[in-house]
A and B are shown apart, each in its own frame.
Chain A
């Protein structure tokens, strides 16, 4: 199955810094999702996007649905230690049942 290209693979940042990551696909999606996974836990949904160009925030997190519908971006502002984890993007087409996942971005925040 298709796997989305997610970058960067890993990030090491100082507490208080902003973080950006992105996800690209060869297919057009009508839904983009962003998840966070803590070690040993299941992914938790952070933000859902349904419209090209849409910009949605959840606290310090902001995600955008790219206008080509083939990409999405996640920004985290003023990072804190509890932001540590793996962030996944996921996409879905209008007609398919399946979700396609990115390979994940591992975030480490140095206090």
Chain B
């Protein structure tokens, strides 16, 4: 059974804190993605990575950074959390270009107070 696991289901952080969201996949996928999901705005791509140590900005990278030191792990970092980063964060992985699917983790509901 394919698996993408996000380290936390729920997080509450204070404004200004540095926040780490971790994602691990066991499918040996090259591609990994971080999205945020807000009501009425759908899924928006923050960053994706197509190989270890490689990353590309998505549609809304401001205020975020990422790290991919190992193929199976992709971390999203909020350098200084703000209340407008309160959201549902979803990690996904896939094979590279071509005919393949994206598999999602269970999501992390982050609240910044």
Q: Which residues of A contact B (CB under 8 A)?
A: 1, 3, 30-31, 33, 35, 40-45, 48, 50, 88, 90, 92, 94-99, 101-104
Beyond A33-B101, A44-B104, A97-B48, whether A102 also contacts B42 by CB under 8 A is yes
Chain A residue with Cβ nearest B94: A99
> Chain A residues with Cβ under 8 A from B92's Cβ?
99
Q: A92-B100, A98-B48 are in contact. List 13 more A-B contacts (CB 8 A).
A: A1-B58, A35-B104, A41-B106, A41-B107, A44-B104, A45-B102, A45-B103, A88-B43, A94-B98, A97-B48, A98-B45, A101-B42, A103-B42
Q: Is the interface of A mostly helix, strand, loop or mixed?
A: loop
Q: Could you mark each residue 14-46 of chain B with 1 if its beta carbon is under 8 Å from any beta carbon of chain A, else 0?
A: 000000000000000001010000000011110
Interface string of B80-105 (1 = CB under 8 A from A): 00000000001010101111111111
Closest 3 CB pairs of A and B: A42-B104, A101-B43, A42-B107
Judge whether B109 is part of the interface by a CB distance below 8 angstroms.
yes
Q: How far is A95 from B50 in the complex, measured between Cα atoms in Å?
A: 13
Whether B99 pairs with A1 at a CB distance below 8 angstroms is no
Contact with A along B50-82 (1 / 0, CB 8 A): 100000101100000000000000000000000
Chain B contact residue count (CB 8 A cutoff): 29
Q: How many Å lie between the Cα of A77 and that of B44 in the bound state? A: 30
Q: Out of A40, A42, A48, A97, name the residue touching B97 (CB < 8 Å).
A: A97
Chain A contacts of B97 at CB under 8 A?
94-97
B48 to chain A, nearest CB (A): 7
Q: A1-B58, A97-B31 are in contact. Are A42 and B105 (CB under 8 A)?
A: yes
Q: List residues of chain A with CB within 8 A of the CB of B58.
A: 1, 98
Complex Cα spacing A103 to B43, Å: 8
A104, B102: Cβ atoms under 8 Å?
no
Complex alpha-carbon distance, A42 and B33, angstroms: 13
Q: Are A48 and B42 in contact (CB under 8 A)?
A: no
Listed A/B pairs (18) with beta-carbon separation below 8 Å: A1-B59, A30-B99, A35-B104, A40-B107, A41-B107, A42-B4, A42-B6, A42-B90, A42-B105, A42-B106, A45-B102, A95-B97, A98-B33, A98-B45, A98-B58, A99-B94, A99-B102, A101-B42
